[in-house]
């Protein structure tokens, strides 16, 4: 084998090794913000999330609670795991709540939280 091929082979292996191991030590909370386990800490709530949670507890939890057929939205963790559906159903499609869409003010609050990154700390 020529020296050039050996050098290219070693270089290729080094690049592949670096690519494989580069994500190994990533920490989820640094990449994505709040860890799921943090959603149970009310002190970690930012003002945008707190406002959304109040809206959902007053307007949605009647149908969206534990044991129902609809997604449970009764806890912070539930809200965070269903952010896409909340945004789509309440703001984009305006299907929820079923009785009547949320007010424009409530929709704006949810949209602002969603646009800010839909995290607990927003």
pLDDT at 116: 92
- Calculate the alpha carbon distances from 16 to 10, 46, 48 in Å: 10, 41, 42
pTM attached to this predicted model = 0.67
pLDDT digits (tens, 9 = 90+) for 102-120: 999 999 999 999 999 988 8
Q: At what angle do helices 47-59 and 104-115 cross, to 10 degrees?
A: 140
């Amino acid at each position: 084998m020529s020296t050039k091929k050996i050098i290219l082979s070693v270089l290729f292996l080094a690049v592949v090794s670096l690519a494989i191991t580069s994500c190994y030590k990533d920490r989820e909370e640094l990449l994505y913000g709040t860890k799921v386990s943090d959603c149970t800490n009310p002190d970690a709530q930012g003002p945008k999330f707190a406002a959304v949670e109040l809206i959902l507890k007053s307007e949605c939890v009647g149908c969206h609670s534990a044991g129902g057929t609809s997604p449970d939205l009764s806890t912070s963790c539930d809200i965070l795991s269903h952010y896409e559906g909340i945004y789509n159903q309440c703001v984009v499609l305006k299907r929820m709540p079923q009785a009547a869409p949320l007010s424009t003010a409530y929709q704006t609050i949810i949209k602002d939280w969603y646009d800010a990154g839909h995290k607990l700390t927003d």
